[in-house]
Structure 1
Amino acid sequence: MAGSASCLAVLVVFCFFFDFGFTQLAGLADYAETCFETSALCFISAESGSTFGCGICSQDQVRFAPFRLVAQLTELEEFLNSSVDEQEILVISTELYVSEQALELIRSQPQNVLAVYVEQESNPSDVSFPNDQGFSPALTSPNNVFSSDPMIETSWNPTGNGLRASLFSVPMYALPSAVIQDLLRNSTRLQAFGEEFPRAEMKPGGVMWACGQDAGTCLQQGTCQPVGGHSVWVAGERVNSEDVQTKELVAVSSMLDSTSFFPELGHGAWDVTGAAALIAAADAFATYKREVASTTPVIRIPIFFGFFGESFGYAGSDRFLVDVQEFTCTQQADFSQGQGYGCVSPYAPSTRFLNFRGANWNSHIHMGPVGPGADANLYGHTDGKQEDINTALKQVLQSNYGEGLVFDEEFDAEAGLPPSSSNSFVSRLPEVPSVTLTNYQESFDFEFYQSMFDNTVNSLDSICSAAEGLAKSVIQLAYDEQPDASTVNVNCTLVEEVFRCFTSAELSDCKIAAEYMPQSWLQSILDFNEETQVSQSYPSVFTPLPVTQEQAATRLFRQSLMRYFLGYINAEERTETTCNSDSDCNQIMEDLNANVADNSQWREVICARGVCVVTESYFHQAFGTGIQPNDSGLNTFRTNNNGGAAFTESVWGSNVDSVVGYCLQAVDSYDYGVSIVIAGVFVWVGSAMVLFAASFFLRGKIVDDNEQIGYSPA
């Protein structure tokens, strides 16, 4: 019996190693081609007469190649200047990426490089920057070509290196640090005889269709689409055509977008501080109107704008102002046919803005970056050519901000306007006073403008303070009387919540959105955001509203939050009809507009905070004014050479792309795999022979043991 037990033990051990061997063979699947998507890539973009960005411009570039980590500038120079048998993929550290010399070397000497993957580090405190000056891939004078005076080129962004406006002949992607470390672990997972085994390779993906084409050419050939999205505007009072003709308008704006070298990583936290202040000021105005001035008529109607696409030649603000002056609807939408209440051709989600044609604009205030600055002051900027008409507006602002607001007329005359929507208003409405409020005077007091590090601010107190002064100024302009400071209450908690919602990747944590946005609309955004992590600040390509909601809903988040929140607090009527989506309010809206023949007079009913409300809150198309829809009415465009912005983004992807991002495989997996399979066959055959012999031996041993004890099977 002891001998039988020993044989059984040997058999169990052998079977364990036999099973372990097959497990290891199965593990070879880990080294098969595996692909990963990423939205953090540098696109090929174009404007009139120029192409910039980076990407795969030939299908030959979609192939596997060895990759190497490069962390030092000297390593990069040595590799780029060496003679290599094949191109390699570079995985570079964040420190190398923020070095202007490194990317300039890659741009000018790309012959050894198939693709570049950049370590994505979002915390600037973990990165060493050249000369401790920060990093900004934008130009030193952003959007200067589209400013009210393009001849003035002020260095507003001193850390800007212009990389975003450069053209690279190799594709570039950003990957989180954790992914980079995982790549390195996989490339040296096993060691055999001093060699890496197996050696991993990478393959880039995402062929750009518009390489080498300017905006006019790529739009004509369908290889690109306009960069843009949708802006939002909310009126503090009803704006029927007769209302607008009898009252002046006050425009109050902020920008809702941003971009970066890797556009999806342009979080825009610095810029969006202005939007947080505007929303809080609009909330304070609505509260004042409802609780303090309920019986006092508004003399001037405030219009609150959240412009989208401002990073691209002021596409949001300039488009709105040009449409007010020039838009002609050739085919109105038929609400009864499910077409909405705007215009089918050319597309517009609403034509309510046409009521502003010929309106009397009293003034414009743009709320720029107002987060913590070099000091506690807020700075007012005006166009030097407008000084004679800005006096009254400056006095209103000064009286409500006090000594904390500084104007420098001499500097304004020399420097012009900083990057802001005021450039569009001064260009299109030169007779209307316009002031931009910022936390800086002569240059940005922020060293990470439009970079992956632009994701937070240190304090929100300055934003709340800016909102309070803006609220008082808007109230004074609306009622032509300076309000008692004690009657104007800005909700600083609201400021904090809006800013957090606008800068967080976890949109489901936004309490304002959950409370005020229609649940079905919000859920579509959350579902898309969970499935595809795209930025809420980068406009990407322009598509009609229903298409955007279906294909890139996250890009409507900021505008939607502003639309439904401000639409509710400024509502003309809050009905008792509960709702889950805007469509639940269709019958009320249809009854309200039963006798309306012109869609520009169509009044909106939206679902906000769970009830149907009658309000003035609308989306507006946003893309460069140097681009216009084709006459066919389809979602196709052409350039018009009128001098307006014509930014486009390349279409990408093809049948040779397994994925837009990167793929991995082990270069030795086939050779070693065949060897291991052959060895495995021998192991299997040997194991079978051993098992057969062991079985024969055990069978004989059991028979002998039975005979010794006199046992006979039945």
Structure 2
Amino acid sequence: MKMRISVNFFFFCCTLLVCFFGRCKGQNVAPVEQTGVEGLNPAATELVDFFACKRLFSTSGAIGCGSSKDGDRGKLYGISSVQELEEFTKDESLKDRAIVLNSDMFDASVVSELISTERVNLLLIKPTTNPELFSPDIPTPFNLGDGLSHLNIPFPVALLSVEDIAILEKRIIENVERGYGDNNWQHGAEFTFYNGKTSVTSQFCLERGRCDPLGGLSVWGAVGDVVRGEKESVLVTTQMDSTAFFHDLAFGANSAASGIIAVLGAVHALGQYRDEIAALDKQIMVALFQAEVWDRTGSRRFVHDIVNGCASSDSETCSDPFTSSLEWTRLNLSKIGEIVAVDQVAGYFENISTFFTHIADDSGSSSTDLESDLQNEAGLAGLGVAKGAGLPPSALTSFLENEQFIGGGVVFSGYNATYQEINPFYRSRFDRAGSTNVTAQLTNVATAIARTAFVRASKGATPPITASDIEADFETIRQLESCLTQDFACDLVAEYLNTTTEFLQTVLQSEVSTNKFPPGTVPALFYTGVFSPQLFESNGKIQTFVPPSVLEIFVRNFVSHNTKPIQDEIDSTCGFDNTCVSDYADQIACNDTFVTALACVRGRCICSSTHFHDAYSPGLALGAEKLNDGIAISWNIEDDTNNPIWTEPTYSLPTIKLYQDGGYNTATEMLISGLILSIFSYVSISVIIRRLKETKFKLD
């Protein structure tokens, strides 16, 4: 019997196997479960209690954070002081690091410095003491922000929980004890959260169907009557959204909630006299705009649609642009005579002794008269008030930018020249309601707004009521404030949505991408999210439905219930608006409205004078194409020069895993061991072959 053995091939195989197990490339990664490091929790290899920074795309490029497709990994390195930051930036041998940074150092300058080293693969934020001043939003004349939220960060970033930090700190200490160089067994972290490339724009992403426009649904309507396009109107408005560096922590107590509370409180006060208000020659309208953070998307879309109208419609819906209602086509921009915009009116951080009215420098008599009446009514409501500096950006700006708007307007706020006068945490995760009780003051603000709207709408008339009869309800304001700043899964919201607080809590928890809030503390979150329409075919025509968020449904239902024309509600049980349209349209006649005015509010079908309006960039047009398996949505870019387009990419849930890295020394030792073993194998095989040649099993 003859055996043919290739000594060189056998030697190569042995060397390859040894090098494979020795990880010749210089890294040996082992899960913590397999290492059994003393004093560490061997099961704690994946962090689950954290908030991840997301990447967004605009017309000009990307902002925010994200990982590479396969995730980013690095050795844990703690930075808790300026000195430690300097040590890291100067030591160029410290490469591929997972930085654990104290939150009191987390700002645009520090992050920019870490980016410039090109040696940071991921950034984990350790919650420490709250700063005295922090706004990550872009700096403007009214905002002293540092621009952190608008940086294009090439690595993933997450805010950790106290529990996660306890796990990491033990590993960081061990890394320090071993030395931060290329040493044996360093602890590391791997962060996977791919949000697209840093070079992508919103246009590129939309064309490839990999993202959705930022937006949602604005809420608007008339008090006591259907929308009368021929009537001149007074519009009360505020924004419905805010943001933060970590979007799931956009609490927006002052930047969003305070304005919503004040406007809803004013609506409730006006609703007590809806019949008297409906009889006026002018109508009072209300609008809460979504996605205002992103270049006033909601209000600009509203103005754009009113001006351009519906190019193609049937009796109930519009297909150019696609909208689920035609109520907005009744509006005429030139008939919106005056606007009162409400912005940041709660003194959660600084007591507000004086409120301010802001008008444009070139304002005409309409704005100055409106400002005078607002100051007068605010004073009568017990508020200190003065003229503010300049005109801060608001929905009013969107109207003023269009030449068809010939009216005037005023912004009513708690600040004079900068937001930080009353809100040091503008558009950050620290913008939360504190222990300061501002309910009485918010009640007075709502009263002043409601009375001003009535005074302006009743000019030249002799209504049976006076402005002094209108007063906001303290208990209603208290409930609104509690729900919008403390726990959104509250009794008031459950009542208006005709559901239970337990179900609300489940739904709200599902809207948060990672961390779960404890029961009883599920806050209202004001990050707008994405505009995600659903297209379907009905009677041979393509129609659209945009699922509203819990916040949008609550606001619509609250305004609708308190402003709807007083008439009998039908004996119905409903869960959604389409139930009313499909099952009860023939049982209730909504005078002078479209059938889509039927709405399900507090479990009953009513004739609503309040409606949703799509809030996405007016630079986009929604398109649709019939396919064999359904209807495909497309986004056509019409004007991205004058109308910025913001988008959010589709993404999977973020993951952070811990591991141990053998480092350069360990890999080198294993490689040397492998080479020694290979040499020993070669010698042994040579001896064996020589002996075999001397036996009866001679080799050729």
**1:165 equivalent in alignment to 2:165:** no
Query: Deviation per CA, 1:445-477, whole angstroms, max 9, x where unpaired?
Result: 121101111111533232211111011112223
**Which of the residues 60, 69, 72 maps onto 1:59?**
69
**1:542 equivalent in alignment to 2:521:** no
Unaligned runs of 5+ in 2: 1-32, 514-523, 537-544, 626-630, 667-700
What is the aligned partner in structure 1 of residue 301 from structure 2?
A: 319
Say whether the 8 Å CA contact 2:47–2:164 is kept in structure 1. no
User: Residue 365 of structure 1: CA displacement?
Assistant: 0.7
What is the aligned partner in structure 1 of residue 655 from structure 2?
A: 661
User: Residue 188 of structure 1: CA displacement?
Assistant: 6.5
**Which of the residues 221, 238, 242 maps onto 1:254?**
238
Trace 1:120-131 onto structure 2 (pairs within 5 A): 120=127, 126-127=129-130, 129=131
Say whether the 8 Å CA contact 1:37–1:660 is kept in structure 2. no
Query: Deviation per CA, 1:609-631, whole angstroms, max 9, x where unpaired?
Result: 33322111211111122233246
SS of structure 1 residue aligned to 2:531: coil
**1:216 equivalent in alignment to 2:203:** yes
Say whether the 8 Å CA contact 1:593–1:603 is kept in structure 2. no
Say whether the 8 Å CA contact 2:115–2:154 is kept in structure 1. yes
SS of structure 2 residue aligned to 1:59: coil
**Which of the residues 255, 258, 270 maps onto 1:273?**
258
Trace 1:51-90 onto structure 2 (pairs within 5 A): 51-56=62-67, 58-59=68-69, 62-84=71-93, 86-90=95-99
TM-score (norm 1): 0.74
SS of structure 1 residue aligned to 2:606: strand
Q: Structure 1 residues 637 and 587, CA, compared in 2 at 3 Å: closer, same or farther?
A: closer
SS of structure 1 residue aligned to 2:611: strand
SS of structure 2 residue aligned to 1:92: strand
**1:113 equivalent in alignment to 2:113:** no
User: Residue 648 of structure 1: CA displacement?
Assistant: 2.5
> 2 CA distance for matches of 1:118 and 1:350?
45
Q: Structure 1 residues 120 and 499, CA, compared in 2 at 3 Å: closer, same or farther?
A: farther
**1:49 equivalent in alignment to 2:30:** no
Query: Deviation per CA, 1:645-697, whole angstroms, max 9, x where unpaired?
Result: 4342342547xxxx51312234579x9xxxxxxxxxxxxxxxxxxxxxxxxxx
Say whether the 8 Å CA contact 1:288–1:487 is kept in structure 2. no
> 2 CA distance for matches of 1:178 and 1:546?
44
Query: Deviation per CA, 1:103-158, whole angstroms, max 9, x where unpaired?
Result: 2211322x21101011246xxxx32x4xx5x01111221xxxxxxxxxxxxx2113
What is the aligned partner in structure 1 of residue 595 from structure 2?
A: 602
**1:616 equivalent in alignment to 2:613:** no
Query: Deviation per CA, 1:186-225, whole angstroms, max 9, x where unpaired?
Result: 6669999999998643111111224202222222233332
Say whether the 8 Å CA contact 2:69–2:192 is kept in structure 1. no
SS of structure 1 residue aligned to 2:322: coil
SS of structure 1 residue aligned to 2:560: helix
SS of structure 2 residue aligned to 1:448: coil
RMSD, matched Cα: 3.7
Say whether the 8 Å CA contact 1:188–1:197 is kept in structure 2. no
What is the aligned partner in structure 2 of residue 264 from structure 1?
A: 248
> 2 CA distance for matches of 1:564 and 1:342?
21
**1:92 equivalent in alignment to 2:101:** yes
Say whether the 8 Å CA contact 1:44–1:210 is kept in structure 2. no
What is the aligned partner in structure 1 of residue 638 from structure 2?
A: 640
User: Residue 433 of structure 1: CA displacement?
Assistant: 0.9
What is the aligned partner in structure 1 of residue 134 from structure 2?
A: 135
Amino acid at match of 1:90: I
Say whether the 8 Å CA contact 1:44–1:55 is kept in structure 2. yes
SS of structure 1 residue aligned to 2:555: helix
Say whether the 8 Å CA contact 2:339–2:409 is kept in structure 1. yes
What is the aligned partner in structure 1 of residue 445 from structure 2?
A: 466
> 2 CA distance for matches of 1:559 and 1:477?
28
Query: Deviation per CA, 1:577-616, whole angstroms, max 9, x where unpaired?
Result: 24241354335652168899x9x83352222233322111
> 2 CA distance for matches of 1:468 and 1:209?
47
Say whether the 8 Å CA contact 2:122–2:155 is kept in structure 1. yes
**1:494 equivalent in alignment to 2:476:** yes
Amino acid at match of 2:123: V
Amino acid at match of 2:452: S
> 1 CA distance for matches of 2:297 and 2:127?
29
Amino acid at match of 1:476: V
Normalized per residue, which structure has more helix?
A: 1
Say whether the 8 Å CA contact 1:259–1:266 is kept in structure 2. yes
Say whether the 8 Å CA contact 2:211–2:649 is kept in structure 1. yes
Q: Structure 1 residues 205 and 345, CA, compared in 2 at 3 Å: closer, same or farther?
A: farther
Of stretches 361-370 and 195-204 in structure 1, the one that deviates more from structure 2 is: 195-204
**Which of the residues 436, 441, 447 maps onto 2:411?**
436
**Which of the residues 379, 389, 394 maps onto 1:420?**
394
Say whether the 8 Å CA contact 2:498–2:575 is kept in structure 1. yes
What is the aligned partner in structure 2 of residue 507 from structure 1?
A: 488
Q: Structure 1 residues 297 and 634, CA, compared in 2 at 3 Å: closer, same or farther?
A: same
What is the aligned partner in structure 1 of residue 428 from structure 2?
A: 451
SS of structure 1 residue aligned to 2:261: helix
Aligned positions, number: 590
User: Residue 267 of structure 1: CA displacement?
Assistant: 1.5
**Which of the residues 142, 160, 181 maps onto 2:166?**
181
> 2 CA distance for matches of 1:359 and 1:83?
63
TM-score (norm 2): 0.76
Amino acid at match of 1:459: N
SS of structure 2 residue aligned to 1:423: helix
Say whether the 8 Å CA contact 1:255–1:307 is kept in structure 2. yes
Say whether the 8 Å CA contact 1:45–1:51 is kept in structure 2. yes
> 1 CA distance for matches of 2:546 and 2:170?
34
> 1 CA distance for matches of 2:202 and 2:344?
30
Say whether the 8 Å CA contact 1:235–1:616 is kept in structure 2. yes
> 1 CA distance for matches of 2:62 and 2:179?
46
User: Residue 327 of structure 1: CA displacement?
Assistant: 4.0
User: Residue 532 of structure 1: CA displacement?
Assistant: 4.5
Say whether the 8 Å CA contact 2:339–2:410 is kept in structure 1. yes
Say whether the 8 Å CA contact 1:519–1:581 is kept in structure 2. no
What is the aligned partner in structure 1 of residue 675 from structure 2?
A: none
User: Residue 391 of structure 1: CA displacement?
Assistant: 3.0
User: Residue 347 of structure 1: CA displacement?
Assistant: 3.0
Say whether the 8 Å CA contact 2:573–2:604 is kept in structure 1. yes
User: Residue 244 of structure 1: CA displacement?
Assistant: 2.3
**1:380 equivalent in alignment to 2:351:** no
Say whether the 8 Å CA contact 1:53–1:165 is kept in structure 2. yes
Say whether the 8 Å CA contact 2:357–2:410 is kept in structure 1. yes
**Which of the residues 322, 332, 343 maps onto 1:347?**
322
User: Residue 289 of structure 1: CA displacement?
Assistant: 2.9
**Which of the residues 102, 110, 113 maps onto 2:110?**
102
User: Residue 39 of structure 1: CA displacement?
Assistant: 7.5
Amino acid at match of 1:72: S
Say whether the 8 Å CA contact 1:253–1:304 is kept in structure 2. yes
User: Residue 26 of structure 1: CA displacement?
Assistant: 12
> 1 CA distance for matches of 2:177 and 2:87?
28
Say whether the 8 Å CA contact 2:73–2:189 is kept in structure 1. yes
Q: Structure 1 residues 174 and 330, CA, compared in 2 at 3 Å: closer, same or farther?
A: farther
Say whether the 8 Å CA contact 1:94–1:119 is kept in structure 2. yes
> 1 CA distance for matches of 2:637 and 2:529?
18
SS of structure 2 residue aligned to 1:519: coil
What is the aligned partner in structure 2 of residue 675 from structure 1?
A: none
